[in-house]
Amino acid sequence: MFLLFVVLLKVAVFLLAIRYYYLTNVASAVHIRRRKPVKTLIVLGSGGHTAEMMTIVKQLNKKNYSPRYYILASTDSTSESKVLDFEEPTTSKNDYEIFRIKRSRHVGQSYLTSVFTTIQSIWQCIPLIYQVQPDLVLCNGPGTCVPICLIAFMLKVIGAINVQCKIVFIESFCRVKTVSLSGKILVWISDSFVVQWPQLVNFSPKTKYFGRLF
């Protein structure tokens, strides 16, 4: 019985490895011309992260990237007002929605205790991402984005959301010489990894540099 369990475990690991390779090397490289708007999940941090992300969001065509789902940390008291300032004047309530989840890691929090808060955040993300079924996950480095992207990728692995859902990570403008911890984690599962300084181009084969975006 134990031998059968070991064999099944090895088979499962092998199949997951194949699935991971497919998602990160084959599906990631496929570009489909869409006729429908892109359901976009936008992860906001706080302060500088939110300001940078909203600069990017304002450059998106609202009709092409709709509906837009914003995810904020439960302790973030400023990002929602920036979203509303952008959305409310010209946007229907059906075209955007705001969600809040537990922050995976607070500034100055130890890595040990952040494991538990990250698990709580991941638990909240599972039903949320399954409900949204995004076509695009857009983030730029806040700790909040790690559990969201991990869950989105895991749901792609098991086929619970569209495998063509793209995870796009844009490294923060302030990361000049080194990549953030979020970036070091998410480079393994992101479909596009964008940096804003030429000295970071060689960080990964996935890295793309388009100049400064903000």
State whether CATH 1.10.357.10 applies to domain 36-209: no
pLDDT tops 80 at residue 103: no
pLDDT at 74: 80
User: Rounded to 5 degrees, what angle do the CA atoms 112, 149, 163 make?
Assistant: 145
User: Comparing 80 with 6, which gets the higher pLDDT?
Assistant: 80
pLDDT tops 80 at residue 110: no
pLDDT tops 80 at residue 99: yes
Could you report the per-residue pLDDT of 45-76, keeping only the tens digit for each? 877 889 999 999 999 999 999 999 999 888 78
112 pLDDT tier (thresholds 50, 70, 90) = low
Could you report the per-residue pLDDT of 188-210, keeping only the tens digit for each? 999 999 999 999 999 998 899 98
Q: Are 134 and 40 in contact (CB under 8 A)?
A: yes
User: Comparing 2 with 123, which gets the higher pLDDT?
Assistant: 123
Instruction: With both helix axes pointing from N to C terminus, report the angle between 2-21 and 145-157 in degrees, rounded to the nearest 10.
Output: 110
pLDDT tops 80 at residue 11: no
pLDDT tops 60 at residue 6: no
User: Comparing 147 with 39, which gets the higher pLDDT?
Assistant: 39
Q: What are the boundaries of each domain within the chain?
A: 1-30, 36-209
pLDDT at 78: 86
Phi-psi label, residue 159: left if phi above 0, alpha if psi -120 to 50, beta otherwise: left
Could you report the per-residue pLDDT of 131-177, keeping only the tens digit for each? 999 999 999 987 788 889 999 998 998 889 888 899 999 999 889 99
User: Comparing 8 with 76, which gets the higher pLDDT?
Assistant: 76
For residues 202 and 101, give the distance between their C-alpha atoms in angstroms, rounded to a whole number: 33
* Percentage of the chain exceeding pLDDT 70: 78
Supply the mean pLDDT for the chain. Answer: 82
For residues 118 and 81, give the distance between their C-alpha atoms in angstroms, rounded to a whole number: 25
pLDDT at 121: 78
pLDDT at 153: 92
Q: What is the mean pLDDT of residues 92-105?
A: 81
pLDDT at 119: 78
